[in-house]
């Protein structure tokens, strides 16, 4: 029923409601610069009015209200913008990761410059050209030996730097796996807190902001799929779940606190196991639970149904090495059994499924994984370049297609090459020459007169014809791109990759003919550098596009969820006046009650 006390209660409710609105506005202003904070609004609604006319309630002029109350303190958020932002954030994360390491590879190649590998290659062949003109002098021979040594050292250095980049990439992947698991644990904890707060009848706005901020960060690591559940909880899993081993759980975060979820672990070692014949029968994989260096997991044995060759083992190891991330149980224990069987070594997707390799389609993890593939490709190309230089120079320098008959190879495998005291070769290892081990024969570095510059077999020949033939290799076309790094020797090199070893009647030496489907050594390396430049430019271009796109999304999100100081101050003044007006009503009712209670006493 209405009356002064009813009026007093209406004003009191209004006072409390405006006070709560002022508290919310103050909270917004205090968090204006807090990362991930979404502005909040105190939603007001009328309280239940006096009931309809009945036996105990007289008919009046209209239904009389009883005041106002705060129905909910609501978070202002656009979920569709969040979805768009997170999708594009995954793409941004991938190309930022690629740009980070592709720029380092560019620094390693240092092209174009006067100190890069292409310049060293050019000086090497120039030195042979000069030797052909003055083969009788030791100075020209010394220049050839030193330029060859500089070329070998530059190839060694380039290979070692690429190895360091791969090592750095793997370290970043390990750190990212550790961070991802940390994000997931925090999101899972917040998920449970949010549910408990909501069940108690309150709005967990600040907790939801913290969870959304973590989900934003997680989305840059890999693409995610979020399903909303009741009580404001979520189920979260990666978009790419095809490689979960049988019995594994795809969800990383879920509403139910006592059900299984997955985490990720990091593969930190791959070891070959060989039989007595030297054939590879298995690979031993070691891993770190959740990417934590202090939590090693039990080793996993990958058994092959039949022994495999070194080349196939290298391919499988590289496939695992380029990923390094595997699905695991909540404590980081790999889903893969201690021992798994691979019946088809050519089906790498089967290996992915059994071992549980996690290979997302976007995000920074995919960016780092793709960079590892790029590093492997560039190592292969540098190795092919080293083989092409070593084989072609050695063949023309000796005139022999059989390495066993070459008593003075120019380039050698410095890890395998050994000379006996009498000058004969004990171990050659030319077939295994690559950028990591190429070197100049120590017998030539110690005595440059051992360089065969003339047409005869005697190193002392000084007509310069053989030196000229080697200098012309610069313009000879080889099918360098088709070199099989695991199966190559001089005979295969000549037969498969060149136009043949023929006698040059003008020079009187055997030299290599061009293969019309090949390319020069210079152009092969320049193509490698061009490919790198295109990849890096693509990464930077996409980053630029994504920055504009994400900036647009972030601007739209901020316009909706961000705190506007002007708007908050205007609201504060509005609530202040409403608070004052309600206080005035209470004061007025107090005076009226005083008249009724005290003024009627006569």
Tens of pLDDT along 45-75? 998 887 665 555 555 666 778 899 999 999 9
Burial of 429 (0-12, 13-18, 19+ CB in 10 A): middle
Instruction: Band the pLDDT of 1: cuts 50, 70, 90.
Output: very low
pLDDT averaged over the chain?
91
pLDDT at 260: 92
- pTM for the full predicted model: 0.89
- pLDDT tens for residues 480-511? 999 988 888 899 999 999 999 998 888 889 99
Residue indicated by tokens 């069987």? 341
Nearest to 124 by CA among 478, 325, 459, 388: 388
CA 57 to chain centre: 73
Average the pLDDT over 236-260 and give the result: 92
> Between helices 364-398 and 521-561, what is the axis angle to 10°?
170
pLDDT at 72: 92
> Between helices 117-133 and 521-561, what is the axis angle to 10°?
170
Average the pLDDT over 273-301 and give the result: 91
pLDDT at 505: 85
Nearest to 572 by CA among 26, 8, 164: 26
Instruction: Band the pLDDT of 601: cuts 50, 70, 90.
Output: low
Instruction: Band the pLDDT of 332: cuts 50, 70, 90.
Output: very high
Percent of the chain beyond pLDDT 70?
Answer: 97
Rounded to whole angstroms, the Cα distance separating 514 from 518 reads 8
Rounded to whole angstroms, the Cα distance separating 316 from 344 reads 11
Contacts for 306-311: CB closer than 8 Å, 24+ residues apart: 307/275, 307/277, 307/279, 307/280, 307/281, 308/279, 308/280, 308/281, 308/345, 309/279, 309/280, 309/486, 310/280, 310/486, 311/486, 311/487
pLDDT at 266: 96
Contact 169, 375 (CB under 8 A): yes
CB atoms within 10 A of CB 479: 18
Contact 359, 240 (CB under 8 A): yes
């Amino acid at each position: 029923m209405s009356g002064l006390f009813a009026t007093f209660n209406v004003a009191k409710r209004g006072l409390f409601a405006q006070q709560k609105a002022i508290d919310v506005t103050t909270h917004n202003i205090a968090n204006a610069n807090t990362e991930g904070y979404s502005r909040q609004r105190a939603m007001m609604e009328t309280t239940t009015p006096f009931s309809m006319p009945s036996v105990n309630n007289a008919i009046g002029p209209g239904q009389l209200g009883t005041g106002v109350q705060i129905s909910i303190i609501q978070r202002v958020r656009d979920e569709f913008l969040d979805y768009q932002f997170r999708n594009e954030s995954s793409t941004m994360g991938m190309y930022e990761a690629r740009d980070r390491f592709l720029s380092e590879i560019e620094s390693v190649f240092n092209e174009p410059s006067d100190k890069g590998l292409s310049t060293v290659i050019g000086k090497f062949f120039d030195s042979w050209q000069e030797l052909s003109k003055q083969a009788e002098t030791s100075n020209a021979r010394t220049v050839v030996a030193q330029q060859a040594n500089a070329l070998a050292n530059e190839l060694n250095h380039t290979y070692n730097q690429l190895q360091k980049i791969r090592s750095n990439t793997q370290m970043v992947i390990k750190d990212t796996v550790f961070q991802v698991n940390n994000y997931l644990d925090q999101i899972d904890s917040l998920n449970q807190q949010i549910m408990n707060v909501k069940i108690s009848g309150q709005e967990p706005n600040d907790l939801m902001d913290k969870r959304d901020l973590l989900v934003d960060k997680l989305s840059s690591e890999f693409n995610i799929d979020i399903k909303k559940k009741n009580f404001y909880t979520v189920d979260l899993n990666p978009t790419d779940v095809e490689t979960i081993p049988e019995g594994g759980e795809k969800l990383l975060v879920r509403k139910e606190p006592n059900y299984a979820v997955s985490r990720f672990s990091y593969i930190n070692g791959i070891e070959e196991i060989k039989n007595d014949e030297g054939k590879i029968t298995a690979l031993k994989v070691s891993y770190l639970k959740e990417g934590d260096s202090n939590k090693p997991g039990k080793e996993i044995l990958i058994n092959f149904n039949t022994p495999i060759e070194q080349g196939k083992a290298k391919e499988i190891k590289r496939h695992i090495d380029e990923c390094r991330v595997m699905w695991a149980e909540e404590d980081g224990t790999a889903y893969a059994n201690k021992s798994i069987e691979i019946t088809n070594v050519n089906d790498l997707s089967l290996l992915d499924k059994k071992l549980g390799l996690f290979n997302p389609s976007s995000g920074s993890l995919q960016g780092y994984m793709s960079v590892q593939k790029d590093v492997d490709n560039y190592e292969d190309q540098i190795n092919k370049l080293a083989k092409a230089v070593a084989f072609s120079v050695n063949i023309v320098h000796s005139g022999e297609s059989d390495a066993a008959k070459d008593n003075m190879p120019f380039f050698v495998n410095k890890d395998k090459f050994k000379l006996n005291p009498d000058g004969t070769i004990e171990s050659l290892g030319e077939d295994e020459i690559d950028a990591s081990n190429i070197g100049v024969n120590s017998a030539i570095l110690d005595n440059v007169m051992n360089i065969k510059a003339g047409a005869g077999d005697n190193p002392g020949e000084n007509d310069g014809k053989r030196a000229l033939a080697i200098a012309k290799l610069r313009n000879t076309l080889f099918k360098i791109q088709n070199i099989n790094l695991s199966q190559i020797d001089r005979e295969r090199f000549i037969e498969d990759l060149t136009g043949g070893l023929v006698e040059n009647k003008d020079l009187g030496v055997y030299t290599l003919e061009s293969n019309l489907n090949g390319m020069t050594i210079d152009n092969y390396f320049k193509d490698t550098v061009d490919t790198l430049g295109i990849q890096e430019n693509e990464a930077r271009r996409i980053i630029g596009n994504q920055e504009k796109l994400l900036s647009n999304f972030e601007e739209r999100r901020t316009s909706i969820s961000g705190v506007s100081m002007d708007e908050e101050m205007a609201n504060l003044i509005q609530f202040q006046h409403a608070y004052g007006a309600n206080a005035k009503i209470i004061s007025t009712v107090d005076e009226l009650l005083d008249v009724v209670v005290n003024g009627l006493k006569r």
